[in-house]
């Protein structure tokens, strides 16, 4: 019977992952990575390790994702490798989830085919793809966290290097482990030396994280700490953060300024969630505290620092799934002995709420996948621009960029030397998030830059690649320069974010 069940589970896992793979593959084949993905790729391609760690404060993200990209980028693998990496990491996380999660198959299906598993992590290739695999490995090692503390500490160290949004969950996991370590030592579950070494690894992870992002608030203009002393303002920001998070995950608008109709939905939901949280906290306090820490930290970040987006909410969804998995184990083996019927009901309720939340995300995930597969879902013209530059321009051409924020999306497809950054007079092709509005065309000296390049031995023709929003600035630059700008290509697909104009630079005879 056990052999039959094992084979059945293996077949179910294989079929589910095959369906998942096929559905996401179609989306991945139509996906155009935009500048956030390209920014990480260009940093990994252009910088050495010391330069990478100097750059991280501008990114506001720790190092793990960049370190994984570095071998791929420096070996000269194609830009699509970043999607392959993200795809593989998400697939690993889902395989571990299907193998280890203490859920029924309907709940597992709801998670895998919700926003937690579809499109946002495997296709939109960013550091969030690391979250499912690391959380599932931590879950697998959780029962052995004291008997085998070093692997557990190493996993927490790695999770700490993924994203700021995970700090609440990681911090509570470390705190709970540290509080239980003395009792584990007294019980002989592990030697004091190993426990001390594990604690040092965890503390090193926190210190390493802090060192990487020291000065990030001042360095990155996208990060702005809001005034937390204005309580009325903070209340509005908190409601907005909660409402925006719910809208991103489910398309349900829980909060809207000037509209009190949201109260009829938000208040009953909040009361029910609070009641469930209280019962959870009383019956399974360890996992409940983890959930509260993850929720409080992420809500605080979205309220005080920067706004939510979809990947943040998918990360929180995985944190919730992870906490419910721990809760089911905690309720199945209570400290007092045999599981009570009330504990079994609570475990079923938590699983049902998890499945319901995942099902609600279908309204967000599947329209996004449909749009990505259609022409209306194109978010960047960068691939078309890169192909044009490689096939239509002379091999000796030098293309000046106007904007460090959008240029990486094109540069990621090209070999080094095609694009040139007049901001820094070199091939630096990723953003430091410190540009002035209007790009280089608003303030740059095109004549001086062309003269500098000619003096440096550049003999080929020059071109200027401009973000479509700064067309007026490009025309003004042409009017004030001795060299002239001639528009030769307008990449005007109905892209939501990234469109480009290409000008030929004509020098006076």
pTM of the shown model? 0.91
Distance CA 76, CA 41 (A): 11
Q: What is the 3-state secondary structure (H, E, C) of 134-161?
A: HHHHHHHHHHHCCCCHHHHHHHHHHHHC
Would strands 419-420 and 462-467 be described as parallel, antiparallel, or unpaired? unpaired
What is d(CA 503, CA 474) in angstroms, rounded to the nearest whole number? 9
Predicted local distance difference test score (pLDDT) of residue 229:
61
Which residue in 187, 178, 186 sits closest to 149, CA to CA? 178
Residue 347 to residues 116, 206, 280, 339, 343: CA-CA distances in angstroms? 21, 32, 9, 11, 6
> In this predicted structure, what is the pLDDT of residue 1?
47
Which H or E run contains 248? helix 231-250
- Beta bridge partners of residue 281, listed in sequence order: none
Please give the pLDDT value at position 429.
82
Q: Would you state the pLDDT for residue 507?
A: 87
Q: For Cα atoms 309, 314, 318, give the angle at the middle one, nearest 5 degrees.
A: 150
User: Mean pLDDT in runs of 10 for the chain (509 residues)?
Assistant: 71 93 92 88 93 89 95 94 96 96 95 94 93 97 95 97 94 96 90 94 95 77 60 62 65 57 69 89 94 91 78 92 95 68 90 92 88 75 90 91 88 90 82 68 88 87 90 88 90 73 88
Name residues whose C-beta falls within 8 Å of residue 332's C-beta, 6 or more positions apart in sequence.
102, 339, 343, 347
**CA dihedral (228, 61, 326, 302) positive or negative:** positive
Q: Where are the alpha helices (DSSP H) in 251-337?
A: 263-283, 285-304, 310-332
How high is the pLDDT of residue 116? 94
The pair of three-digit structure tokens given for residue 19, joined into one six-digit string: 């369906």
Strands 500-506 and 462-467: antiparallel
Pairing of strands 500-506, 398-401: unpaired
The token duo for 175 is 């705190």
Domain definitions of the chain by residue range: 382-506
Phi/psi at 307 (5° precision): -75, 160
Edge-to-edge order in the sheet of strand 419-420 = 419-420, 398-401, 462-467, 500-506, 484-491
Q: Report pLDDT for 221.
A: 61
Q: Cα torsion at 173, 175, 181, 182 (round to 10°)?
A: -160
* pLDDT value of residue 499: 85
Residue with tokens 């449909």: 370
Name the nearest CA neighbour of 95 among 37, 140, 59: 140
């Amino acid at each position: 019977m056990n052999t039959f069940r094992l084979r059945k589970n293996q077949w179910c896992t294989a079929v589910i992952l095959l369906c998942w793979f096929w559905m996401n593959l179609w989306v991945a084949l139509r996906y155009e990575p935009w500048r956030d993905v390209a920014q990480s790729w260009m940093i990994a391609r252009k910088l050495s390790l010391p330069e990478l760690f100097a750059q991280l404060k501008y990114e506001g993200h720790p190092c793990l994702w960049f370190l994984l990209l570095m071998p791929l980028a420096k070996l000269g693998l194609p830009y699509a490798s970043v999607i392959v990496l993200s795809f593989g990491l998400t697939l690993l996380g889902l395989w571990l989830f299907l193998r280890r999660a203490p859920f029924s198959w309907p709940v597992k299906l709801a998670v895998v085919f919700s926003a937690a598993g579809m499109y946002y992590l495997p296709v939109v290739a960013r550091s969030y793809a690391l979250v499912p695999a690391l959380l599932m490995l931590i879950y697998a090692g959780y029962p052995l966290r004291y008997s085998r503390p070093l692997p557990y500490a190493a996993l927490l160290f790695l999770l700490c290097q993924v994203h700021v949004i995970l700090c609440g969950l990681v911090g509570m996991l470390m705190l709970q482990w540290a509080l239980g370590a003395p009792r584990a030592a007294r019980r002989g579950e592990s030697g004091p030396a190993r426990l001390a070494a594990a604690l040092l690894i965890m503390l090193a992870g926190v210190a390493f994280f802090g060192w990487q992002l020291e000065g990030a608030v001042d360095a990155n203009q996208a990060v702005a700490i809001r005034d937390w002393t204005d309580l009325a303002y903070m209340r509005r920001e908190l409601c907005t953060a909660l409402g925006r998070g719910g809208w991103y995950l489910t398309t349900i608008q829980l909060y809207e300024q000037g509209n009190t109709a949201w109260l009829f939905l938000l208040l009953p939901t909040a009361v029910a969630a609070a009641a469930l949280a209280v019962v959870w906290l009383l019956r399974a306090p360890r996992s409940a505290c983890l959930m509260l820490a993850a929720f409080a930290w992420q809500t605080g970040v979205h309220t005080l620092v920067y706004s939510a987006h979809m990947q943040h909410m998918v990360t929180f969804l995985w944190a919730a799934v992870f906490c419910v998995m721990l809760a089911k184990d905690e309720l199945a083996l209570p400290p007092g002995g045999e599981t009570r019927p009330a504990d079994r009901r609570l475990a079923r309720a938590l699983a049902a709420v998890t499945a319901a939340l995942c099902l609600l995300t279908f309204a967000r995930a599947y329209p996004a996948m449909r749009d990505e597969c259609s022409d209306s879902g194109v978010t960047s013209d960068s691939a078309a621009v890169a192909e044009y530059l490689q096939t239509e321009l002379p091999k000796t051409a030098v293309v000046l960029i106007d904007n460090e924020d959008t240029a990486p999306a094109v540069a990621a497809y090209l070999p080094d030397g095609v694009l040139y950054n007049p901001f820094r007079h070199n091939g630096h092709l990723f953003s430091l998030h410190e540009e002035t509005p209007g790009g280089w065309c608003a303030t740059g000296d095109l004549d001086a830059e062309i003269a500098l390049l000619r003096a440096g031995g550049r003999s080929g023709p020059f071109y200027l690649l401009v973000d479509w929003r700064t067309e007026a600035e490009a025309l003004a630059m042409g009017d004030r320069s001795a060299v002239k700008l001639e528009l030769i290509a307008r990449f005007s697909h109905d892209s939501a974010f990234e469109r480009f104009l290409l000008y030929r630079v004509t020098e006076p005879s």
